[in-house]
Amino acid sequence: MGFALPKEVYVGTSAMIAFVIDLTRIPTYIATWIVRDGSCYLLLPILVATAYLGVKTGTLLLQRISREKFRKFVFVALFIVGLALLIG
């Protein structure tokens, strides 16, 4: 946010970082057998559908919100997360 990037670039960059982290984390979980209960894999189609709907909803909301409101939302969210990390 400090570089005054467009909101689409900010969200896209954040999404790609999360995607790359997940690409390394999920195979690690599978390879090390951290998830031992195979029934959780039945949830994967639901999780994929939920992620898709989340992306679509986020895209619609991002188009409707102004750049200034987006900046304020991000700053408030970061403040709350920072406060939670300090407290908890």
pTM above 0.95, yes or no: no
CB 67 within 8 A of CB 6: yes
Task: Report yes or no on 1 lying in a domain.
Answer: no
**Residues 33-57: tens digit of each pLDDT:** 877 777 777 888 898 899 999 999 9
Task: Report yes or no on 12 lying in a domain.
Answer: yes
Question: Residue 1 has what pLDDT?
Answer: 60
Report d(CA 70, CA 5) in Å as an integer: 12
Q: Which residue ranges in the chain fall short of pLDDT 70?
A: 1-2
CA 31 to chain centre: 24
Find the domain containing 75 and state its range. Answer: 7-36+46-87
Task: Report yes or no on 30 lying in a domain.
Answer: yes
Task: Report yes or no on 66 lying in a domain.
Answer: yes
